[in-house]
């Protein structure tokens, strides 16, 4: 199966539980008109979907009728088919969250009441999600293996409100993150310092299961049962999500509690050498602060815009009754408090405009040679120091530079995301800000029929593909 067919098969699965964008629907209809294999896949998936939606009707019957109907359905699905088969339970996992919960809960309930023959044959992800949703707290170890950084570990705690405490064992620091209040509180030793950061631009995470991003990934994308594995002498059920070729999630679940005991997240960079993961590090000493402190801005995004990394979640303990004091943001005696803010909203067109506005101010009105320069620390960091380091308050100068670095990285990520969509073109090399008729770059966001083009005075407008500049 080609990558193109794999893309359209995901659209087929999506179309069963939600409306496609007009652009995706046109593309899908055109592909199905040309590809017999995908047309057969669409027919098969639609038939299975209709079968699944009939399961709620089973509850109007007696237990014996339910058993007979389910056995008949399973036997029918087990029959050899003359064409390529598409497993029943894999199709379930490819449905969206609402449909999946309805179908899997019903099917699991029915099979669970029939006989021991069926127990354990199809582990129910819905039960796992349900138990996580009811959990009161969680503690666990995180082991990080990130490209270019020595491996390190953190000890983590999450309470029922989604507030997280992370203890950085190697760096002797503690970070408490409140997604509801949009606050992050950090404590650093030697010298004793407390940092309160107000974060804006992201929806609040109101409960623990919202905080666990991989849970959302499991129920919104495909997650398949991959078999039974032994962890610390105990049987676990392994679920794997590999829908994104650049990001894999593995979750090991205790079948007795339906709660995870281990999880692993593997990020793989996009092999296209022109797609980068932005990262800028600044040191307060460069701005005249006697006791220097490093702060780093970095972003990852879909499509392999990330560093190579494996993060493993071990020693997961659920519902142990964590003490509220672990999540306190009170400043300990002897610590000096510093307050700042950070925009962590999604990467948008505005971020690209703002990033280029900052860059051209720092570089004597010149656009970057390469759009990747926006998020390349070796290139951006000297410009930031030179532009913001002056005769004023060094702490404020550092904060201003740090905010600018954040904007540069967000603008850089937006450009990388357009590259992944293969709609990005940059012509800024050697050009300077000001000319309202000089094209600098253009792109087309997913689902849009029109391209967007930026000119030398940083204004952006719609443009049809046939009217794009020659390059």
Contacts of 57 (CB under 8 A, 6+ apart): none
Q: What is the rounded CA–CA span in Å between residue 401 and residue 380?
A: 11
Residues making up the chain, counted from first to last: 471
Q: Give the model's pLDDT for residue 470.
A: 84
Pairwise pLDDT comparison (239 vs 431), residue with the higher score = 431
Local confidence band at 165 (pLDDT 50, 70, 90 cut-offs): very high
pLDDT band at 355 (very low <50, low <70, confident <90, very high): very high
| pLDDT at residue 349, rounded to an integer | 92
**pLDDT of 396 above 50:** yes
User: Tokens at residue 25, please?
Assistant: 């629907």
Contact in structure between 252 and 396 (CB atoms under 8 Å) = no
Residues 206 and 164: their CA atoms lie apart, in Å, by 12
Other CB atoms within a 10 A radius of the CB of residue 65 amount to 11
| pLDDT at residue 338 in the model | 86
DSSP 308-332: -EEEEEEEEEES----GGGG--PPP
The mean pLDDT of the chain is: 79
Residue 133 pLDDT grade (very low, low, confident, very high; cuts 50, 70, 90):
confident
Compute the average pLDDT of residues 362-389: 97
Range of lowest pLDDT (91-105, 138-152, 353-367, 399-413): 91-105
CA atoms within 13 A on the CB side of 406: 16
Q: Residue 217 corresponds to which tokens in the numbers above?
A: 């990934």
Phi then psi dihedrals of residue 152, to 5 deg: -150, 170
SS3 at position 233: coil
**Model confidence pLDDT, tens digit, residues 166-212:** 998 777 889 998 887 889 899 987 778 888 988 877 666 555 555 56
pLDDT of residue 462: 96
pLDDT at 192: 85
Instruction: Using a pLDDT cut of 70, give the percent of the chain over it.
Output: 76
The predicted structure's pLDDT at residue 140? 93
pLDDT of residue 47: 59
* Section 421-447 average pLDDT: 95
Q: Is the peptide bond before 335 cis (omega within 30 degrees of 0)?
A: no
Q: Which residue has the higher pLDDT, 33 or 75?
A: 33
Distance from C-alpha of 347 to C-alpha of 303, rounded to nearest angstrom: 14
Predicted confidence at residue 317, as pLDDT, reads: 95
Asked if 175 and 185 touch (Cβ cutoff 8 Å), the reply is yes
For residues 207-234, b (16+ Cβ closer than 10 Å) or e, as one string?
Answer: bbbbbbebbebbbebbbbbbeeeeeeee
Does residue 388 have a pLDDT over 80? yes
pLDDT of residue 384: 97
Q: For residue 157, what are the contacts with CB-CB under 8 A and spacing of at least 6? A: 137, 138, 139, 164, 165, 322, 326, 327
- CB atoms near residue 13 (< 10 Å): 24
Average pLDDT over residues 242-260: 88
> How does pLDDT run across 300-342, given as a tens digit for each residue?
888 899 889 999 999 999 999 999 999 999 999 999 898 888 7
pLDDT tens-digit map of 48-89: 555 444 444 433 444 344 444 444 444 444 444 343 333 333
38 vs 101, more confident? 38
Q: What is the domain partition of the chain in residue ranges?
A: 3-122, 133-268+308-327, 346-467
Lowest mean pLDDT among 33-42, 378-387, 449-458: 33-42
Answer whether residue 453 shows pLDDT above 50: yes
Q: What was the pLDDT predicted at 436?
A: 96
Burial class of 108 by CB neighbour count within 10 A (0 to 12, 13 to 18, 19+): middle
Question: Angle, nearest 10°, between helix axes 349-362 and 394-420?
Answer: 130
pLDDT on residue 126: 77
3-class DSSP assignment, residue 66: helix
Is pLDDT at 142 greater than 60 in this prediction? Answer: yes
Among candidate residues 4, 239, 221, 253, the one with its CA nearest the CA of residue 100: 221
Per-residue pLDDT at 106 exceeds 60 = no
| HSE toward the beta carbon, residue 72, CA cutoff 13 A | 9
What local confidence, expressed as pLDDT, does residue 62 receive?
42
Indicate the pTM of the whole model: 0.65
Degrees to nearest 5, angle at CA 437 with 432 and 443: 85
Of the candidate ranges 2-6, 62-66, 395-399, the one whose mean pLDDT is the lowest:
62-66
Average pLDDT rounded to a whole number, residues 365-370? 98
Asked whether the beta carbons of 62 and 49 are under 8 A apart, the reply is: no
Three-state secondary-structure class, residue 227: strand
Q: Looking at domain 133-268+308-327, does it have CATH number 2.60.40.420?
A: no
């Amino acid at each position: 199966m080609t990558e193109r067919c794999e893309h359209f098969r995901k659209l087929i699965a999506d179309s069963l539980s939600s409306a496609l964008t007009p652009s995706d629907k046109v593309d899908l209809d055109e592909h199905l008109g040309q590809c017999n294999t995908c047309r057969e896949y669409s027919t098969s998936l639609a038939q299975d979907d209709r079968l699944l939606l009939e399961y709620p009707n089973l509850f109007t019957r007696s237990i014996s009728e339910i058993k007979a109907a389910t056995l008949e359905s399973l036997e029918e699905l087990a029959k050899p088919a003359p064409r390529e088969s598409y497993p029943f339970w894999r199709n379930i996992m490819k449905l969206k969250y609402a449909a999946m919960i309805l179908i899997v809960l019903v099917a699991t309930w029915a099979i669970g009441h029939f006989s021991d023959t069926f127990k354990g044959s199809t582990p129910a992800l819905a039960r796992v999600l349900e138990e996580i949703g009811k959990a009161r707290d969680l503690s666990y170890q995180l082991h990080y293996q990130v490209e270019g950084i020595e491996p390190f570990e953190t000890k983590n705690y999450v309470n029922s409100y989604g507030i997280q405490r992370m203890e950085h064992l190697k760096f002797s620091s503690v970070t408490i993150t409140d997604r509801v209040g949009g606050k992050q509180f950090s404590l650093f030793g030697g010298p004793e310092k407390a940092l309160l950061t107000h974060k804006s631009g992201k929806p609040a995470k109101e409960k623990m299961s919202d905080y666990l991003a991989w849970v959302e990934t499991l129920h919104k994308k495909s997650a398949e049962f991959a078999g039974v594995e032994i962890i610390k002498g105990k049987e676990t059920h392994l679920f794997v999500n590999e829908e994104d070729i650049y990001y894999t999630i593995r979750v090991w679940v205790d079948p007795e509690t339906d709660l995870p005991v281990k999880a692993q997240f593997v990020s793989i960079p996009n092999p296209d050498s022109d797609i980068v993961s932005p990262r800028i590090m600044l040191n307060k000493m460069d701005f005249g602060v006697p006791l220097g402190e490093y702060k780093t801005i970095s972003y990852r995004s879909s499509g392999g815009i990330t560093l190579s990394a494996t993060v493993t979640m071990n020693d997961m303990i659920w519902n142990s009754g964590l003490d509220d004091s672990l999540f306190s943001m009170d400043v300990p005696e002897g610590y000096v408090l510093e307050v700042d803010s950070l925009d962590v909203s999604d990467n948008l067109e505005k971020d690209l405009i703002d990033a280029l506005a900052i860059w051209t101010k720092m570089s004597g009105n010149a656009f970057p040679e390469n759009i990747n320069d926006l998020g390349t620390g070796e290139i951006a960091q000297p410009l930031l120091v030179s532009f913001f380091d002056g005769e004023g308050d060094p702490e404020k100068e550092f904060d201003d530079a740090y905010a600018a670095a954040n904007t540069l990285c967000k603008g850089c990520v937006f450009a990388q995301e357009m590259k992944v969509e293969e709609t990005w073109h940059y012509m800024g090399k050697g050009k300077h800000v000001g000319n309202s008729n000089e094209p600098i770059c253009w792109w087309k966001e997913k689902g849009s029929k029109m391209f967007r083009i930026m000119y030398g005075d940083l204004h952006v407008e719609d443009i049809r593909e046939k009217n794009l500049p020659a390059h």
